[in-house]
Structure 1
Amino acid sequence: MERQPEQRLPEAQIDDGSAASSLAIGNGSVCQQEDNSRDGTGGEYSGPELPEDIWCHIHSLMTLRDAARAACLSRTFLRSWRCHPNLILDHGILFQLRHVLASTVNHIFENHSGIGVKTLKLDFSCYHEPKAYSYLHRWLRIAVTPGTEKLVVLSASDVAFNFPCSIPSDGNGITIQHLHLVDCGFHPTVSLVCMRSLTVLHFDRVAVTGDELGYLFSSCVALEQLKLRRCSKITCLEIPFELERLSYLQVSVCHKLRMIKNEAPNICSFDFLGDRIEISLGDSLRLKNLDVLCNNVLRYACEEFPSSAPNLETLSIFSRHEVANTAMAFTPSKFLHLKYLSISIAVAYDYLSLVYFLDAAPSLETFKLCVLTGLRPADELLLEDPSQLRQMSGYCHHKLQTVKISRFCSSKSMVELVSHILENSVSLECLTLDTTDCSFRCSGDRSTRCSDLVRPWEADKAVLVIEKYIKGKVPSTVKLDVVEPCNRCHVILLDGGGWIRA
């Protein structure tokens, strides 16, 4: 993607008050008052006697549109409007100003020439003509100065816009703390050395390579949060040891990514969404929270994560697909510090094998299981002899206190898992079995309605299974909470002598 050439914009023929009036869309009467105050035909609101710097601070706390409306009412605010520190030009504002882009908006930025802004957001996602991006280049060069702390730029996905990396390279990015780019190219060179204040970096659908990220990382020693979403040109993500302050890492749907190699020593939380790849966490003793959305990951997580992230305290796993016959197995590795485990599965599974995961976490206090499928269980249980249920002996979950299973179904292996937990968790206090789709509930309010059930008859079968196989095993010290479909929103209808839920 080539950098868009700068084009000279037409000279603005309006004054500051008119620019404010243009932004104060939908408030014509207020802006008319401002016009009258200039020609002496109307009054203006001056407010109480306060130092001008206090008025400027009050003005800076307003949204851009409210600040423009205030400038229409008061000459005091009109003066501070000319150097308003926060320019938040979101999609709605820029879309409404699309016909005066080269006049009103340009005039706002000309007022900030040599002054800059503290916060700048430019949402160009509604502009699909490349010509508009010459304005964006110009405004970035005007507004981003030493003193700018937050910069957010969104472009249209069908326009080849390259973020001008010369801006931070020229020293204007020295105070930027938060950088968020969407749908653009970012191609720095090794000379990008002036972003030493950057603490939050968020790239979404940004065309950037792993090497180019390396150039950026070399100048971001203060970085604390890194989010990379849908950045399709990254094949290898290497995070250097020098990012000692980095505590949060999120990598999401970067399709060409094949390896993550981390050497940053203080990452506490890591969120990953994508295909299974090679992940080297390095010295990850401080990693406490891990959130993984990945296919075929359950057994891998149970076997590998205890050694690669030994101090995990919370672990959330979401798997849309698991290869057949790859259920959990005994592992000698232990999550010695894991207290919270959440597993979401979107396929039929041998749920009893999850006992191995529970056994690998001797400090576990909370376990949540969510079945994200409306399919009929392959091992449906309703009329079988309870004595035929499998049991796993020799396991005791001493610290497990809270268990919740969402979309509990009539699966035999799920009943076996719940029975095992009830019989082998001496500290268990609360067991919640939710037979619904974990969606919106009306809470008895007649103005609302519960979400529809994908398989309403399955919820009723699950309730019968709980009555037959589980309730009798619940100790008196355990609170059992069975969440059933709402009888007001999901009415039972007779069907040929039988019954179904609506």
Structure 2
Amino acid sequence: ASPCQQGDTTQTEQCSEPYLPEDIWHHIHSLMPLKDAARAACVSQSFLSSWRCRSNLVLSRESFGLGQGDKETARDFRRKIDHILRNHSGTGVRKLNLWLVPNYNAKNCGYVDKWLEKAVTPGIEELTLSMPINNKSKYEFPCTVLSNGRGDSLRCLCLTNCSFHPIALLGCLRSLTKLELFMVRIPGDELCCLLSSSSALEWLSLRYCSKVNCLKIPCHLQHLRHVKVEDCSMRMIESKAPNLSSFQFKGDLKVQVSLGKALQVKSLYMRSTVFGCDTRAELASSMPSREVVNSPIVSSKLTDLKSMIICLGEMAFCLSFDCQSMFSILGASLTLETFISRVSDELMQHALVFGDPSRSWMLDMSGGGVSPLNKSLIKLACHILRAWLI
């Protein structure tokens, strides 16, 4: 604001604001943290107008200036959010992040529905709803808030600890580029239907989604680049997305993985505590100029794969690691530059490093507790890698 304009000694000092176009005031106000923006709205008519149509709503303990040690009750937290949204015009929200406090309970879930109904309007681009992970109440995300055109502009959807039944949203999320689900109860068939109707999707992350036992990614998701699956109860992952460049998997169940004709994969990360090598990335071994172990499980090449990391837990490596499954993966990776296979730190005793200086190959392995058969397979893998690099 401009300096105070002073009149004569008989008049009260007054402060006036400089003239700026309304959109500039809104932009300045949108850059402020929520707490500062609220204070500014109390002393400035221009900022008050901007506050009522604020486009960036991040409602969390941190945005209210509360530390982890603050004993903020769910009731007080609810009152703050209620007050903010009650004074909001209900239009112009592009980003809504709602992170509820840990002691939020089922009695307050009705308020969440009301807040979403108020803030999710046409033009919204990012929606994050995080229910407390220690909350045993089974909140169901109201898909109706994204229907009737309100989800057409949505680009990012992140949900935590809720039920999600997106059948009603088929065709409503045509602009969605990022989908993150954490501890979300969503049936696998409904997830597949949602993916099929989200042709703009670029990023998919599924973590601790126990109801998803099968993930099928259709071939028309040509923009999909990144897929992350962590600790879901899956038996099969099948991707036909042609331009996938990064695939991450972490889990403790045997799972069959097929990346189809994903020729652009540059990063492959797989970590499992029970690696019975039903986790077979069906990555093919067609190598015209090299002779490799033939494997019937392969189906396509990974011509652009640059880096691969395989992490194995202690019991997985000792009891069930099948090195033969690794051969076909390596054989399919014609441009692989870095390969790291890690065993748990407790078992790691030495590393074998081989290959020319332009390529870094490392196989971390343990001596103790490994069966004689697997020791032989490990040595065989080393010989194959050496020969492959010549």
Q: TM-score scaled to structure 1, two decimals?
A: 0.60
Cross-structure match for 1:52: 22
| In 2: Cα distance, 1:395 partner to 1:172 partner | 54
1:67 aligns with 2:37: yes
| In 2: Cα distance, 1:394 partner to 1:154 partner | 48
Deviation at 1:79, TM superposition (A): 1.7
Q: Counterpart amino acid of 1:270?
A: F
Deviation at 1:284, TM superposition (A): 1.4
Out of 227, 231, 242, the residue aligned to residue 265 of structure 1 is 242
Q: Counterpart amino acid of 1:137?
A: D
1:292 aligns with 2:265: no
Alpha-carbon distance change, 170 to 177 in structure 1, aligned in 2, over 3 angstroms: same
Deviation at 1:90, TM superposition (A): 1.2
Alpha-carbon distance change, 72 to 42 in structure 1, aligned in 2, over 3 angstroms: farther
Cross-structure match for 2:161: 183
Give a deviation string over 1:327-366, Cα, whole Å, max 9, x none: 74695735311012222211647978x78xx78xx99712
Cross-structure match for 1:209: 187
Out of 228, 231, 256, the residue aligned to residue 253 of structure 1 is 231
Cross-structure match for 1:136: 112
Cross-structure match for 2:308: 315
Cross-structure match for 1:365: 359
Q: TM-score scaled to structure 2, two decimals?
A: 0.75
Kept in 2: contact 1:175–1:197 (CA 8 A): yes
| In 1: Cα distance, 2:263 partner to 2:33 partner | 43
Alpha-carbon distance change, 155 to 295 in structure 1, aligned in 2, over 3 angstroms: closer
Cross-structure match for 2:335: 337
Q: Counterpart amino acid of 2:302?
A: P
Q: Which has the larger radius of gyration?
A: 1
Give a deviation string over 1:429-475, Cα, whole Å, max 9, x none: xxxxxxxxxxxxxxxxxxxxxxxxxxxxxxxxxxxxxxxxxxxxxxx
Q: Counterpart amino acid of 1:282?
A: G
- For residues 32-431 of structure 1, the aligned pairs below 5 Å read 46-92=16-62, 93=64, 96=72, 98-100=74-76, 103-156=79-132, 157-189=135-167, 192-254=170-232, 256-274=233-251, 275-295=253-273, 297=275, 305-307=283-285, 308-311=300-303, 312-320=305-313, 321-324=316-319, 328=323, 331=327, 333-346=331-344, 348=347, 365-368=359-362, 378=368, 396=386
Q: Counterpart amino acid of 1:213?
A: L
Q: Counterpart amino acid of 1:310?
A: L
Alpha-carbon distance change, 304 to 44 in structure 1, aligned in 2, over 3 angstroms: farther
Deviation at 1:126, TM superposition (A): 2.3
C-alpha RMSD of the superposition: 3.6
Tell me the secondary structure at the aligned position of residue 270 of structure 2. strand
Alpha-carbon distance change, 394 to 244 in structure 1, aligned in 2, over 3 angstroms: closer
Give a deviation string over 1:467-499, Cα, whole Å, max 9, x none: xxxxxxxxxxxxxxxxxxxxxxxxxxxxxxxxx
Alpha-carbon distance change, 363 to 195 in structure 1, aligned in 2, over 3 angstroms: farther
Kept in 2: contact 1:247–1:267 (CA 8 A): yes
| In 1: Cα distance, 2:193 partner to 2:340 partner | 37
| In 2: Cα distance, 1:302 partner to 1:102 partner | 48
| In 1: Cα distance, 2:103 partner to 2:49 partner | 31
| In 2: Cα distance, 1:236 partner to 1:298 partner | 18
Cross-structure match for 1:418: none
Aligned length: 339
| In 1: Cα distance, 2:118 partner to 2:92 partner | 7
| In 2: Cα distance, 1:296 partner to 1:64 partner | 45
Alpha-carbon distance change, 70 to 44 in structure 1, aligned in 2, over 3 angstroms: farther
Deviation at 1:102, TM superposition (A): 5.7
Deviation at 1:304, TM superposition (A): 5.8
Q: Counterpart amino acid of 1:337?
A: T
Alpha-carbon distance change, 150 to 190 in structure 1, aligned in 2, over 3 angstroms: closer
Deviation at 1:181, TM superposition (A): 0.3
Q: Counterpart amino acid of 2:45?
A: R
Alpha-carbon distance change, 192 to 46 in structure 1, aligned in 2, over 3 angstroms: farther
| In 2: Cα distance, 1:106 partner to 1:146 partner | 21
Kept in 2: contact 1:155–1:182 (CA 8 A): yes
Give a deviation string over 1:183-217, Cα, whole Å, max 9, x none: 00101225532111110100000000111112322
| In 2: Cα distance, 1:176 partner to 1:342 partner | 38
Q: Which runs of 5+ in 1 are unaligned?
A: 1-40, 380-391, 400-423, 425-502
Q: Which runs of 5+ in 2 are unaligned?
A: 1-10, 286-299, 370-381
Identity, in percent, stands at 37
| In 2: Cα distance, 1:105 partner to 1:161 partner | 18
| In 1: Cα distance, 2:185 partner to 2:384 partner | 53
Kept in 2: contact 1:210–1:236 (CA 8 A): yes
Kept in 2: contact 1:268–1:287 (CA 8 A): yes
Alpha-carbon distance change, 302 to 124 in structure 1, aligned in 2, over 3 angstroms: closer
Give a deviation string over 1:410-436, Cα, whole Å, max 9, x none: xxxxxxxxxxxxxx9xxxxxxxxxxxx
Kept in 2: contact 1:177–1:200 (CA 8 A): yes
Deviation at 1:265, TM superposition (A): 1.3
